Amino acid sequence: MSTTFPGRTASMSGPAGDVFTITPDDAVDLAQTTRAIYVGVTGDLAVVAASGAQATFAGVPGGTVLPLRVARVLASGTSAGSLVGLV
């Protein structure tokens, strides 16, 4: 695929250049650290941040994009669904 801006480096504040489906797992990190997560189905989202800190975001509405640098989405504590990582 061609790009309109060859030779330009993507910035963290720019749009995502790739996406992947997230399957929550308590033991395995994501293939890539996210720059954001799309939550398709309302629920709680338990994550391990790129820094190693853990947090649970309660009651995230479906259709929300959270600008989070996440290394892992935990199965324990996550009830949100249809999760997509943006990188």
Q: pLDDT tens digits, residue range 10-58?
A: 666 677 779 999 999 999 999 999 999 999 999 999 999 999 999 999 9
| 2 — pLDDT class (breaks 50, 70, 90) | low
pTM, two decimal places: 0.86
Query: Is residue 4's pLDDT more than 80?
Result: no
Which domain range does residue 63 map to?
Answer: 24-86
| Mean residue pLDDT across the chain | 91
Domain assignment present for residue 57? The answer is yes
Domain assignment present for residue 17? The answer is no
Domain assignment present for residue 16? The answer is no
pLDDT at residue 20, as a whole number: 98
CB 57 within 8 A of CB 45: yes
Q: Strands 43-49 and 81-86: what pairing?
A: unpaired
pLDDT at residue 15, as a whole number: 76
Instruction: Write the CB contacts of 60 (distance below 8 Å, at least 6 apart in sequence).
Output: 39, 42, 43, 44, 45, 66, 80
Domain assignment present for residue 32? The answer is yes
